[in-house]
Structure 1
Amino acid sequence: MVRSRNEEKTGFQESGPYHPAYDLQTDFVMVYGIDDSMPTRIQQWKDRGYIVHLMTGVAWGNYENYLNGQIDGRTHWDEAQMDRHEERIIHGDTPEIPYMVPTLSYAKFLAERIRIAVDAGVEAIHLEEPEFWVNGGYSEAFQREWRLYYKEPWAPPHSSPDAQFRASKLKAYLYTRALDRLCTEMKDYCLTTYGRDLRFYVPTHSLINYTQWRIVSPESQLIDLPSIDGYIAQIWTGTSRTPNVYQGLRKERTFETAYLEYGMMQELVRGTGRRMWFLHDPIEDNPNYTWSDYQQNYYQSVTASLLHPAVSHFEVSPWPRRIFQGKYPSEDGTGKESIPQDYATTLLQVMHTLGHMDQDWEQTEDAMQQVGVFIADSAMFQRMKIEDDNTPAITSKYDGTNSEALEAEGDIELLNFSPFYGLALPLLKHGIPVRPVQLDNVRRFAHYLNDYKVLVLSYEFMKPEYPDLHFALAGWVRNGGALVYVGDDTDPYHGVRAWWNETDSKYACPREHLFEQFGLKDAEDGVYQVGKGAVGYLPVAPEGCAISEEGANALRTMVMKTMEALNNPDCKWRPKHYFQVCRGPYIIAAVLDESVADSPVTIPGPVVDLFDPSLSVKHDVQVAPGEQVLLFDLEKGRVAVGEAGCIAASSRIESGSRSSSGFEFQVKGPEDMSATARFYCSKQPVAAVMDCHDKAESIPFEWDEASGTVLLRYCHRSDTDVVVKVSWEASEVQ
């Protein structure tokens, strides 16, 4: 379990000073926020052995001195994002903290603040959540940017689909421009001034969530910026519990949504060499749930992330202070309570296990049948529903906590994002490994689609920004790919000013141009051979695949028929009601509800249950529909005969050694937190002690003869030199 912090496998963010109560012992920490206390906080975490990064908001922050003109003598309130009612769009409930239009002046201001962090010696900087709200685009600064970008008078975004599409496209461009200027300037400053490299990362929600919540962000555009070194996938219960519709039923589907979101972010960096950390949050921003609710949803999101083994770096928690020192509603509704000890112990076990997920992996027999569902950045550009009277159906800002406000406006359908989920959930719920595929990357990377045999596409909720995407798709199909297109050409955004309707050959929608490349100009419902591949055409609105079982079945049938047309024995429809992957000795599995079966799935042992605070040894595990597991395979992970080895621990294991009479290891973790560790052990122990500054105290242990393992229980201390010693000879007991 010993690993170098330089690998930066795990980290967390924290705005408070160092405190032993939430010292998670990850590889790095992201000190949050730039203020007078920042240099002190950086040094405190450095002194505890952490690699230190800095995180700060790029769309909002305590920037009153800039807004009020104390920086350059000019007030900048005209750069606050504003809706059509001339109301500022604010972060949280603080009027003095608006979301910003990223002007050149604002980017310069941020650069000067970042310079302070560079001078303080951080190794990397995370510019969090470049967000522009769909219902924004009315401030004076944005109107000026419109004139400069489009060279025409500003049009209110709610006035037409074209105005909304163009406004959102400009919003994404502005944040791309700001990040490029800021990061390039600061990298040059750091290298010139200090002779060291500085890294920049962007913590961002998934494209799926930003589209669903009606937020515009650069997303895949950042791949084109050499100054950006990677991302943090900000996916957690708060995003993934957003309800969606499957077979007519709207409800929370945290596991399925998280599975798609993490898949989207894995796809975002595939083949780029950029770093991606997957975020987990044991609670969430909404403080109104119970610990049992948080725990259940945490297991779902962690499991969903681990089913995407191309990523093995993790932000194990934002704000550990609010987890280990916060209080949340009790189960009986009588008040608030601190985190249960068992849950805290389990969290630490999982967090330290995440640092060891960079393993060879193998998937069950469904690996060849993964199906890609296309989504593009442009999906964010058409998230305002324009009514006949040019009044948007939804005017509220949605941040994951106020669905009631949207429901009160009478149009929750836009939040459901059923055009996308209608294509993904009918396949996912039948055990097909669905991968959201970034359409924009098709033109960035020559062989981007080679990993896929089956792709699903619709232009009813997004648009292709360049015609050469279709040439690549046509070549992929002719070389043996199966493309299923779903759409009825009724989306009002087909009429926006774009390449498909501004050339000599006018197309009513981009699908017509795509089908022309296949030689299927007059195609109707059905499956068509195109070269070595096939095209399936289902001319229905994609949201129709979400609102009923018949709609979901129609999509599944079309996908099956198109796959069959390939005559490829490795590309078959194999429905099941679970997902499972093995990453080295770790087994990750989830059993689906609303699926093809309602029976449990049995995973043979012996295994250790890593979601169990007692790290129990089980001879087999029954996983019921709606449940998830993270297990350690005791046979696959077994160490050499006579050796001792750590299976799992709720501590950071800094060092260890073995002798003929026992073994010992150094442990670190949050102060006063109950901890467990299970080790392979060549003999039955006779004693276990915790040694702190040469003062030893006995700790309880449990021997499991069948597995040859020992479970140790102890309590973390704030001291750095704490050693646990296990002896199997009485003479070694101290």
Structure 2
Amino acid sequence: MHRLIVIAGIIMAGQINISEATRLVTDRELELTGFQEAAAFKPVCDFRNDFVMVYGTGDDRPDYIKSWVEKGYVPHFMTGIAWGGYQDFKDLNGNNIMSLAQTRADGTQWLHGKMTPYIVPSVEFADYICDKLEPIIDSGVKAIYLEEPEFWANAGFSDAFKREWRLFYDEPYERPGSSVDAQYKTNRLKYYLYQRAIRRVAEKSKEYALHKYGRELKIYVPTHSLINYTQWGIVSPQSSLIDSNVVDGCIAQIWTGTARTPNVYQGRLAERTFETAFLEYGVMQELVRGTGRKMWFLHDPIEDNPKHDWQDYRFNYKETLIASLLHPHIWRYEICPWPSRILTRKYPSNSQNASYIPDDYLTTLCIVFNQLRDMNQQEITWTNATKGIGVFIADSSMFQRAEPAESLAQINEKDPSKAGRKDIEHFSGFYGLTVPLVKLGIPVMPVQLDNAARFAGYLNDYKVLVLSYEFFKPQNPALNQAVAQWVANGGSLVYVGGDTDPFNQVSSWWNSGENSYKAPSQHLMQQLGLDKDAPTGEYEYGKGTVFIERCHPAHFTHSAAAGEKYINIIKPACKAAGLEWHENNFIQLRRGPYIIAACLDESVSDKPLELEGLFVDIFHHELPVLERVKIKPGSHSWLFDINKIKKDKAEPIASAARFESWEQSGSNVIFKLSCPENAKIVTRIYLPAKPVKMSIDDMAFSDYKWDEKSSTLFFESPDKPRQSIEINW
């Protein structure tokens, strides 16, 4: 039996008092789950969640919004801020939207589709978007989502961008690839441009809604994770969104397509969807931790690439789903983008074996979509976990992803103090510090360094922090000061890096004015009371400890031996911080009555994770009751623990339909279910005793299964999207 370590949960703003409600019976105004769709209401897409984000700025969108509202959905709206159907844009000189296209060094343009460029967001363009949004606000939406503010790192050669350079820097334009300084400055400008665009659109839209209708409009930003944007070579505002009071939160756009991006572990390049998704969702949880801003985690039951089959989609969806559920302080979800893409298309595309979604997968999805409304749980318990280790990452990691980054890297990987070109390509500096820990069952968190100076006490939840300035830079000296203060208060800091990154040469605070450091780490060392070139070793500072390793963090991805070297640095850091060390081939978390577990491959053991108790398998279309669960390496489970149910009353456990209401009186319960068209409705509920009578829509019903050991009732309803059930026992 595994020893349990209880970790105190973070209570987010607006948390629901779940103890006073019936499980799974929730008010849509809580906006716990939603999806995006660029069409009017369709019964087949009626997943019965809380809100819909109608997509796009066409003239028909107000009618689309009305159609969803009439079916009970809370109306939201989403449009792209970096691309979209903006072909009617004209600037003051009469130029169309292509004049704002992001452009590569060879003059080619970044396109999302025909006449749909990725955009250099000028002030004119932001004002154009504001005008587009006014009829949407008139239609009564409660929130607007400005999706994916993205500027490609290898762009920055257009006339539109050159104008922005002159306005921002007040100096002649420099070609981005001409030096590390020019590239860094280019991407810092891109970062600013989308900050400006979002702020301008948000402020004007909020003012319009409040002035005209007296309505408070919310503005959210759906965005990929900082990890993914960095690896894919995209610049986006990320943590700076929190600096603006007009941005109310984000959607973490993480799905199979981002998480299956290969990385290197023990010298092998491979897709590691679960591990990557775990880190991606983690950094997005960190983005809003302690801010009171809302965050929805996105899942996608398929992905943008239509050439995979349903088995691939299902497996990777489960990996990303479980990864997200292992972050217990987020409990709102975008259940899927584009329901019609899932329900009305065949996959793999262009294949004679293409087929529509399998019935059992559709039923499973309906169960999952409903169950996600029950994840705001106050009991958070990790099993046998080393909890309290974080690895820093910062927004400036996006500034180092284009030329001359690769050409200045070593061609091979012989020098462990330097990054090779493949290391740069695969973002191995970051993964070398994180994946070895995840593979040992350690729920390590990517920590947003930029927030360390924004919020007092931001680092207090961590005992051990790992930092390297080899793949990002601190944007101001206050960040080093915050880290040093955390160490002085008793933390263990592991610093990895040989100060070999060419981007140390960029013009910034550490080498300007009175400062003449060759790297920002030298300033950090002095803040820690050390020589600025302190060698590999262990040092004390205040109540804490500093461990220095003078190699490049990408080195830890090159072989099993290199990875073990890294772990042997982290272990004494944990000991110094009083953090007990555990190695497992699993990560397991309890959230209230739910157990979320991942058994890891490439780990310390090939032994399956075995659980005993009385569980319902949430990710199974028949919601089976299980007394023993065996999770093989590379597999994952989401279980409902029946033993956590209060035995004195009936209670919903799970269903492919939404529980619209639940009324119990004595030994009788009446509840209503609703679900999408053509979906198989399966339901399992707990009853204090075996039923003696059951009816559906006033018709006697006896085709149910009673499980005596769990005191639960399972039934498959007739194929009706709305129904009322009454049970007596």
Aligned partner of 1:551 among 562, 582, 590: 562
- Answering whether residue 372 of structure 2 is matched by residue 354 of structure 1, we say yes
Within-5 A mapping of 1:336-485: 336-364=354-382, 366=384, 369-386=387-404, 413-485=423-495
Over residues 100-140 of structure 1, what are the superposed CA-to-partner deviations in whole Å (9 max), with x where a residue is unaligned? 00100000000000111101110000000000001110111
Instruction: Name 2:21's counterpart in structure 1.
Output: none
- Answering whether residue 315 of structure 2 is matched by residue 304 of structure 1, we say no
Contact 2:453/2:482 (<8 A) preserved: yes
Instruction: Name 1:109's counterpart in structure 2.
Output: 128
- Answering whether residue 630 of structure 2 is matched by residue 622 of structure 1, we say yes
State the 1:193 CA deviation.
0.4
Which stretch shifts more, 583-592 or 517-526? Answer: 517-526
SS in 1 for 2:678: coil
Distance 1:388 1:41 in 2: 47
1:715 and 1:253, CA in 2 relative to 1: closer, same or farther beyond 3 A? farther
State the 1:334 CA deviation.
3.9
Distance 1:390 1:462 in 2: 16
Contact 2:647/2:688 (<8 A) preserved: no
Over residues 264-296 of structure 1, what are the superposed CA-to-partner deviations in whole Å (9 max), with x where a residue is unaligned? 000000011000000010000001111111111
Instruction: Name 2:10's counterpart in structure 1.
Output: none
What is the TM-score normalised by the length of structure 1?
0.92
Instruction: Name 2:575's counterpart in structure 1.
Output: 564
Over residues 556-595 of structure 1, what are the superposed CA-to-partner deviations in whole Å (9 max), with x where a residue is unaligned? 11111222334x2xx1221111111111111111111111
Contact 1:654/1:667 (<8 A) preserved: yes
Percent identical across equivalent pairs?
48
Distance 2:358 2:422 in 1: 36
Instruction: Name 1:200's counterpart in structure 2.
Output: 219
1:252 and 1:697, CA in 2 relative to 1: closer, same or farther beyond 3 A? farther
Paired residue type of 2:715: L
Q: Give the ranges of 4+ consecutive aligned residues of structure 1 lying more than 6 Å apart after TM superposition.
A: 387-393
Distance 1:614 1:72 in 2: 62
Instruction: Name 2:85's counterpart in structure 1.
Output: 62
Aligned-residue CA RMSD (Å): 2.0
Contact 2:286/2:446 (<8 A) preserved: yes
Over residues 231-283 of structure 1, what are the superposed CA-to-partner deviations in whole Å (9 max), with x where a residue is unaligned? 00000111001111001011111110010000000000001100000001000
Distance 1:77 1:600 in 2: 55
Instruction: Name 1:396's counterpart in structure 2.
Output: none
Over residues 587-631 of structure 1, what are the superposed CA-to-partner deviations in whole Å (9 max), with x where a residue is unaligned? 111111111111111222101010111100011211111111100
Instruction: Name 1:726's counterpart in structure 2.
Output: 727
Distance 1:411 1:149 in 2: 32
Aligned length: 697
1:499 and 1:31, CA in 2 relative to 1: closer, same or farther beyond 3 A? same
Which stretch shifts more, 467-476 or 160-169? Answer: 467-476
Instruction: Name 2:111's counterpart in structure 1.
Output: 90
Paired residue type of 2:646: V
1:76 and 1:602, CA in 2 relative to 1: closer, same or farther beyond 3 A? closer
Contact 2:407/2:421 (<8 A) preserved: no
SS in 2 for 1:49: coil
Over residues 285-338 of structure 1, what are the superposed CA-to-partner deviations in whole Å (9 max), with x where a residue is unaligned? 00111111111111111111111101110111110111111210299x642001
State the 1:657 CA deviation.
2.6
State the 1:148 CA deviation.
0.9
Instruction: Name 1:613's counterpart in structure 2.
Output: 621
SS in 1 for 2:643: coil
Distance 1:36 1:330 in 2: 31
Contact 1:609/1:617 (<8 A) preserved: yes
Distance 1:671 1:698 in 2: 21
State the 1:656 CA deviation.
2.3
- Answering whether residue 597 of structure 2 is matched by residue 597 of structure 1, we say no
Paired residue type of 2:527: Q
Distance 1:697 1:234 in 2: 45
SS in 2 for 1:66: coil
SS in 1 for 2:676: coil
Which stretch shifts more, 208-217 or 545-554? Answer: 545-554
Aligned partner of 2:706 among 697, 703, 707: 703
- Answering whether residue 646 of structure 2 is matched by residue 639 of structure 1, we say yes
Instruction: Name 2:585's counterpart in structure 1.
Output: 577
Over residues 435-481 of structure 1, what are the superposed CA-to-partner deviations in whole Å (9 max), with x where a residue is unaligned? 00001001101211111110000001000110121111111111111
Aligned partner of 2:99 among 67, 78, 81: 78
Contact 2:386/2:443 (<8 A) preserved: no
Which stretch shifts more, 601-610 or 251-260? Answer: 601-610
Instruction: Name 2:414's counterpart in structure 1.
Output: none
Paired residue type of 1:501: N
Task: Provide structure 1 residue ranges, at least 5 long, that are not aligned to the other structure.
Answer: 394-409, 729-734
1:392 and 1:61, CA in 2 relative to 1: closer, same or farther beyond 3 A? farther
Distance 2:703 2:421 in 1: 58
Within-5 A mapping of 1:9-408: 9-67=32-90, 73-91=94-112, 94-329=113-348, 334-364=352-382, 366=384, 369-386=387-404
SS in 2 for 1:587: strand
Contact 2:52/2:76 (<8 A) preserved: yes
Over residues 152-179 of structure 1, what are the superposed CA-to-partner deviations in whole Å (9 max), with x where a residue is unaligned? 1111111111111110000010000011
1:320 and 1:229, CA in 2 relative to 1: closer, same or farther beyond 3 A? same
Contact 2:387/2:444 (<8 A) preserved: no
Paired residue type of 2:501: D
State the 1:644 CA deviation.
1.7
Task: Provide structure 2 residue ranges, at least 5 long, that are not aligned to the other structure.
Answer: 1-23, 412-419
Which stretch shifts more, 556-565 or 479-488? Answer: 556-565
State the 1:544 CA deviation.
0.4
Instruction: Name 2:7's counterpart in structure 1.
Output: none
SS in 1 for 2:342: helix
SS in 2 for 1:48: coil
- Answering whether residue 699 of structure 2 is matched by residue 681 of structure 1, we say no
State the 1:217 CA deviation.
0.2
Contact 2:87/2:97 (<8 A) preserved: no
Distance 1:472 1:72 in 2: 48
Distance 1:449 1:661 in 2: 51
Contact 1:370/1:454 (<8 A) preserved: yes
Contact 2:388/2:461 (<8 A) preserved: no
1:656 and 1:205, CA in 2 relative to 1: closer, same or farther beyond 3 A? same
Contact 1:527/1:561 (<8 A) preserved: no
Contact 2:267/2:557 (<8 A) preserved: yes
